[in-house]
Amino acid sequence: VVQGFGREAGEALATSKRIAKIAFTGSTPVGSHILKCAAENIIPSTVELGGKSPNIYFEDIMQAEPAFIEKAAEGLVLAFFNQGEVCTCPSRALVQESIYPAFMEEVLKKVRAIKRGDPLDTETMVGAQASQQQYEKILSYLDIAPQEGAELLAGGSVEKLEGNLASGYYI
């Protein structure tokens, strides 16, 4: 497993003679670049690109059993797990206006219960961002969101933890 950003990490892997197989999950432009580099070295490659995973909620879900509504809300909250670094992570939610207040209250109950902290603690649900660059990128999105009409319902700021976790990139 190699962590890194874009072309730099991808190109280093895709041009290495030591690599026997590439499996990449990420953006379409980087995946395309990796495939081009890998083709030159005839390295077998598999890519999963550009997932956006929208979640769409219609009013009929609010007529279901409470356990179903809870699971639907949980599905949206999964966007935050693994710091959002999951290829099937929900990137947006479309909620029918007639159920928006009630459904979002269910979602917010789950959001408020999220525990940030040490990734080795089994009670932790969200750890730190992988790097300062990723951290700053997310903070920039939080600045842009209200300008584009987003309404902040929870969080949206730096999370300061204590002790050994104080230097982590928590949001």
Known catalytic membership, residue 162: no
Which of the following is catalytic: 8, 48, 105, 136? 48
DSSP, res 84: G
DSSP-based three-state secondary structure for 29:
helix
Q: How far apart are CA 129 and CA 132, in angstroms?
A: 7
Q: How far apart are CA 24 and CA 43, in angstroms?
A: 13
Task: From residue 57, give the alpha-carbon distance in Å to each of 14, 79, 95, 117, 166.
Answer: 40, 15, 5, 30, 37
Q: How far apart are CA 115 and CA 79, in angstroms?
A: 14
Q: Which two tokens stand for residue 138?
A: 């997310």
Annotated catalytic residues are 48
